[in-house]
């Protein structure tokens, strides 16, 4: 199994987990929860494949992503029905959600960037970084829109920014260190950055008007 395939599996499971949790919190039925989990897990990858001309998208040709997503969503549903969560348990759920979302972001940043570096090795840095970003945040945007939430990428700490920095890192390390080491360095870097951002409440700058209140 290749390094990219390992990160693809990690990302699919992690994002399916986060999608299923959002579906349960929004009180969807089991079909809605599964749809949200699947779309979160494979949506970014499908969008990436369409952009680079991989038609039909890999997920539709090799449907293990759908299968893993469905299994993960059913497992989460079973867990929520059989385990009694206290107030402390709800805090644990929030922590697990952040962990799964972080692992998905880091994993798909790697797989997206690797796709660009593999298919178009002579391209500029913009292509692999952009593909890594789209793969990492695409599914989460679909999830949040369907769940009637402002997409996390537009409001929460170093989310997309972490993916961009990770994409730049893997491109810089690709030639000198090789694909496997560069991929792991990117994964660990994005994961660490997100964990630190959550732990210390790091935020990008939010512009605020002076002396006047805007309401649209």
**Contact between residue 140 and residue 152 where contact means Cβ atoms under 8 Å apart:** yes
Q: Half-sphere exposure (CA, 13 Å, Cβ side) for 43?
A: 22
Residue 209: predicted pLDDT: 67
- In the DSSP assignment, the letter for residue 154 is G
Residue 172 within any structural domain of the chain? yes
Residue 90 within any structural domain of the chain? yes
Residue 83: predicted pLDDT: 75
What is residue 76's three-state secondary structure? helix
Residue 192: predicted pLDDT: 96
- In the DSSP assignment, the letter for residue 84 is P
Residue 206 within any structural domain of the chain? no
pLDDT by 10-residue block (mean), the chain, 216 residues: 89 96 93 96 96 91 93 93 73 88 96 95 94 96 92 80 96 96 97 92 76 55
Range of the domain at 195: 3-200
Residue 209 within any structural domain of the chain? no
**Contact between residue 11 and residue 32 where contact means Cβ atoms under 8 Å apart:** no
Residue 216 within any structural domain of the chain? no
Residue 213: predicted pLDDT: 57
Residue 213 within any structural domain of the chain? no
- Give backbone dihedrals phi and psi of 106, rounded to 5 degrees, phi first: -65, -45
**Contact between residue 34 and residue 74 where contact means Cβ atoms under 8 Å apart:** yes
Q: What is the maximal distance between C-alpha atoms in the chain?
A: 59
Residue 211: predicted pLDDT: 59
Q: How would you class 216 by CB atoms within 10 Å of its CB: exposed for 0-12, middle for 13-18, buried for 19 or more?
A: exposed
Residue 11 within any structural domain of the chain? yes
What is the Cα–Cα distance from 158 to 199, expressed in whole angstroms? 11
Residue 207 within any structural domain of the chain? no
- Dihedral angle over CA of 155, 159, 160, 164, nearest 10: 150
What is residue 187's three-state secondary structure? helix
- In the DSSP assignment, the letter for residue 147 is T
- Give backbone dihedrals phi and psi of 39, rounded to 5 degrees, phi first: -65, -40
Domain count, the chain: 1
């Amino acid at each position: 199994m290749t390094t990219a395939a390992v990160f693809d599996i990690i990302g699919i499971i992690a994002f399916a987990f986060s999608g299923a949790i959002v579906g349960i919190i929004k009180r969807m039925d089991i079909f809605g929860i599964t749809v949200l989990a699947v779309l979160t897990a494979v949506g970014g990858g499908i969008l990436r494949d369409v952009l680079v001309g991989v038609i039909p998208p890999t997920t539709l040709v090799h449907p293990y992503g759908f299968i893993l997503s469905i299994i993960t969503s059913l497992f989460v549903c079973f867990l929520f029905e059989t385990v009694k969560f206290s107030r402390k348990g709800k805090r644990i759920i929030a922590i697990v959600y952040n962990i799964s979302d972080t692992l998905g972001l880091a994993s798909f940043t790697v797989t997206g960037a690797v796709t660009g570096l593999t298919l178009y090795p002579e391209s500029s840095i913009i292509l692999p970084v952009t593909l890594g970003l789209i793969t990492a945040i695409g599914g989460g945007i679909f999830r949040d829109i369907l769940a009637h939430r402002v997409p996390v990428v537009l409001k929460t700490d170093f989310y997309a920014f972490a993916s961009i920095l990770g994409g730049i890192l893997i491109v810089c390390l690709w030639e000198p260190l090789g694909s496997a080491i560069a991929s792991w360095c990117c994964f660990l870097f994005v994961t660490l950055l997100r964990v630190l951002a959550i732990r210390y409440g790091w935020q990008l700058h939010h512009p605020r008007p002076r002396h006047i209140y805007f309401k649209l």
